[in-house]
Amino acid sequence: MLKLLKPAPATPRAAGGTGRGSHSVRGEAAPTRTRPARVPAVAPLAAPAAGIALLQSNSLPALVQRELERMILAGDLPPGAKLNEATLADLLGVSRGPVREAFRALEESGLVRLEKNRGVYVRQIAVEEADNIYELRAVLDAFVGRRVAASADPDAVRELRSHVARMEKAATRNDVDGYLKANLEFHDRLVELAGNAKLLTTYRRLVNELRLFRRTTLAQNGVLPTSTREHRQIVDRIAAADGEGAARALHEHVMASRERMHKASAAPVRDTTTRKSR
Amino acid sequence: MLKLLKPAPATPRAAGGTGRGSHSVRGEAAPTRTRPARVPAVAPLAAPAAGIALLQSNSLPALVQRELERMILAGDLPPGAKLNEATLADLLGVSRGPVREAFRALEESGLVRLEKNRGVYVRQIAVEEADNIYELRAVLDAFVGRRVAASADPDAVRELRSHVARMEKAATRNDVDGYLKANLEFHDRLVELAGNAKLLTTYRRLVNELRLFRRTTLAQNGVLPTSTREHRQIVDRIAAADGEGAARALHEHVMASRERMHKASAAPVRDTTTRKSR
DNA sequence: CTTTTGCAGATTGTTGACAATCTACACCCG
DNA sequence: CGGGTGTAGATTGTCAACAATCTGCAAAAG
């Protein structure tokens, strides 16, 4: 007779909404025993509770993993860079154990490569692999388009349009970084709207790996306007609840990006200067 | 800024151990470049070289990870089971460090769930999540069908037919385990034939997670013959180089499996063993 | 009799130390 | 002068000990 009168926190242990690595599968019919919620009689205050939950779910290795992932995706640790255990541990103020555990996780997520007795390196994506990823993305995005167009939520459409507007604004300024960010968010939100959590994590994994590829694609002349136009078309098809059209538009958009990548990688890279992101 | 960046080697040495048809998700479709053997001009003997390469690329954490993955997928460690660090370390003859590293990797690959200060548990897949995975698989497999049918290699078709034959044989004997194994190998090979390494790792990851779902699906009456028929149709469409037909057949096959799962999970499980209910 | 509270054992988190391996460079020999 | 060789330093792999946290039980309080 457990008295669960206590308003147990809505999410038992949930931390970090769609964040990576948090595989907290909600609603697992626990055959073992659900946690007895040790909270005392007093109703927990919201703010400290959040902090507590943060502390509870975030171990040192998880923190290190997140930080390293951020550094890699931000370009602070460029592809091919060697990650030194001791140095990183010192930098992050922990010992080597947690760093090593983070390395294992990052390898499985495809961001680094481990070589026994040699070290850990940020992965370098070959053109062929990037090509494979683009192909996969095209397939997944086509499915996404079909699904999202079927849902056809006016609010969602409005939100997507705002993302496209941000892209347009960045494009007129030739702000490649801003464009890239808006672009990523647009597609991420789109996949999220498809309502398949596993699809979302799969998609994010692929996009993360793709970000390791050298990003000279968008720097070409005339690419930004073209890409923007494609995005507008995608939203239009969704707004019209045209599933097949949205699927086709998304598929072609990704395949066009793939082509642009090939063009860019065939031609010599123009800006060889270290483009520090901001 | 960060001085832990050493001048990265232009061409990083590829990690060894490619391919190796196991269902392991890891593995980077790297060019088959082996480590520059330190032995001088003499041609290395095959047998010792293999052993050396094995030792070189397999660290203790990797070994532990593989073994745990095997145990989980084989059902020795059923979903929901708690994995005790010290016990497993003792069992495998290593210390807790490598075991912890393996845990991190297994979490990222979706096979276990980590709870800080609580322990590590084999993941349990909820019906909704299995549903999501089936949907994804259907999309991927449709793509696979289109691609493989386009390649249309007689040898490949023969090989696929042999897998189907093994399924048929197992079906007539009502050998569910044998059927499951042949089924897995058929689909794995099929995806491999699509020639997209990233697709293959993605697919394997999904299938691995799906195997954590309770596998009562195939035990139903009449499922095995139906499933076998679907497989034969798939190969037929591929042999006929009918891309769209193969895509449709595969998509429908996966969606039918999904339906069968729903049927099985809705109806009470008719298990031979006594199930404790309370 | 029920609920709370406080140990005691067990388990996980983290760390620092030691062993194994690799890399680089100076050295020796032809 | 070129090429192999050996050693020193750095880096990674592994381990065992210590600290923090959780779980379960038992005793005390109401």
Q: Regarding the domain delimited by B58-122, which CATH topology (the fold level of the hierarchy) does it fall under? A: Arc Repressor Mutant, subunit A (1.10.10)
Mean of the pLDDT values across residues B9-13?
38
Question: pLDDT tens digits, residue range B140-154?
Answer: 999 999 999 999 789
* Low-confidence stretches of chain A (pLDDT beneath 50): 1-49, 269-278
Q: What is the location of CATH 1.10.10.10 in chain B?
A: 58-122
Three-state secondary-structure class, residue B211 = coil
Contact A196, B132 (CB under 8 A): yes
Q: Is any atom of strand D within 7 angstroms of residue A263's beta carbon? A: no
Cβ neighbours for A20, distance < 8 A, ≥ 6 positions apart: A69, A109, A201, A204
Cβ contact B107–A23 (<8 Å): yes
Instruction: Please indicate whether residue B122 or residue B11 has the higher confidence score (pLDDT).
Output: B122
B133–A198 CB contact, under 8 Å: yes
Asked if the model's pLDDT at residue B55 lies above 80, the reply is no
- The SS3 assignment for B114 reads strand
Residue intervals in chain A for CATH 1.20.120.530:
127-266
Residues of chain A with CATH 1.10.10.10: 60-122
Angle between helices A127-151 and A176-193 (to 10 degrees): 50
Q: How much is the pLDDT for A219?
A: 67
Average pLDDT over residues B192-219: 90
Q: Which nucleotide is nearest to B120 (CA to C1')?
A: C12
- pLDDT tens column, B166-193: 999 999 998 888 999 999 999 999 999 9
CA dist B140 and B250 (Å) reads 9
Tell me if chain B has a CB within 8 Å of the CB of A254: no
The set of long-range contacts for B56-59, using a CB threshold of 8 Å and a minimum separation of 24, is: B56/A116, B56/A117, B56/B16, B57/A116, B57/B15, B57/B16, B57/B17, B58/A116, B58/B17, B59/A114, B59/A116, B59/B98
Sheet holding B112-115, edge to edge: B82-83, B119-122, B112-115
Q: Do the chains contact at B196 and A59, CB–CB below 8 Å? A: no
A132 has a chain B CB within 8 A of its CB? yes
Task: Tell me the nearest-neighbour CA distance from A169 into chain B, angstroms.
Answer: 31
Chain A CB contacts of B57 below 8 Å: 116
Characterise A27 by phi-psi region: left (phi > 0), alpha (psi -120 to 50), beta (else). Answer: left
Question: Could you tell me which chain A residue has the CA closest to the CA of B199?
Answer: A136
A86 Cβ within 7 A of any nucleic strand D atom: yes
pLDDT at B229 over 90: yes
What is the topology classification, in CATH, of domain A60-122? Answer: Arc Repressor Mutant, subunit A (1.10.10)
For residue B249, give the amino acid letter: A
Q: Show residues of chain A in contact with B126, CB under 8 Å.
A: 25-29
Q: Scanning every residue of chain A, which has its alpha carbon at the shortest distance from the alpha carbon of B129?
A: A198
Interface membership of B133 toward A (CB under 8 Å): yes
Q: What is the pLDDT of residue A107?
A: 96
Residue B124 clears pLDDT 60, i.e. is over it: yes
Bases in strand C with any atom closer than 7 Å to a protein CB: 3-4, 11-17, 21-23
Contact A231, A186 (CB under 8 A): yes
Q: Smallest Cα–Cα separation from A141: which of A254, A227, A259?
A: A254
Tell which phi-psi region holds residue A7, choosing left (phi > 0), alpha (psi between -120 and 50) or beta: beta
**Chain B nearest C-alpha distance from A53 (Å):** 11
Q: Give dist(CA B224, CA B226) in Å, integer.
A: 5
Nearest to B151 by CA among B101, B194, B109, B214: B194
Identify the residue with better confidence: A209 or B17: A209
Distance in angstroms, CA of A65 to C1' of C14? 16
CATH of B127-266, one of 1.10.1380.10, 1.10.4030.10, 3.30.70.890, 1.20.120.530: 1.20.120.530
Question: In whole angstroms, what is the distance from residue B177 CA to residue B175 CA?
Answer: 6
Dihedral of the alpha carbons of A12, A18, A19, A24, in degrees to the nearest 10:
40
Euclidean distance between the first and the last CA atom of chain B, given in angstroms as a whole number: 62
Q: Measured between CB atoms, does A208 come within 8 Å of chain B?
A: no
Q: Who's near B96: CB < 8 A, 6+ residues apart?
A: B85, B86, B89
- Where helices occur in B126-153 by DSSP H, the ranges are 127-151
DSSP B43: P
Give the separation between CA B171 and CA B169, rounded to whole angstroms. Answer: 5
Asked whether residue B78 carries a pLDDT value surpassing 60, the answer given is: yes
Identity of the amino acid at A17: G
pLDDT of residue A152: 75
How are strands ordered across the β-sheet holding A82-83? A82-83, A119-122, A112-115
Q: Is the CB of A92 under 7 A from strand C?
A: no
Query: B18-35: per-residue pLDDT in tens?
Result: 333 345 444 343 333 334
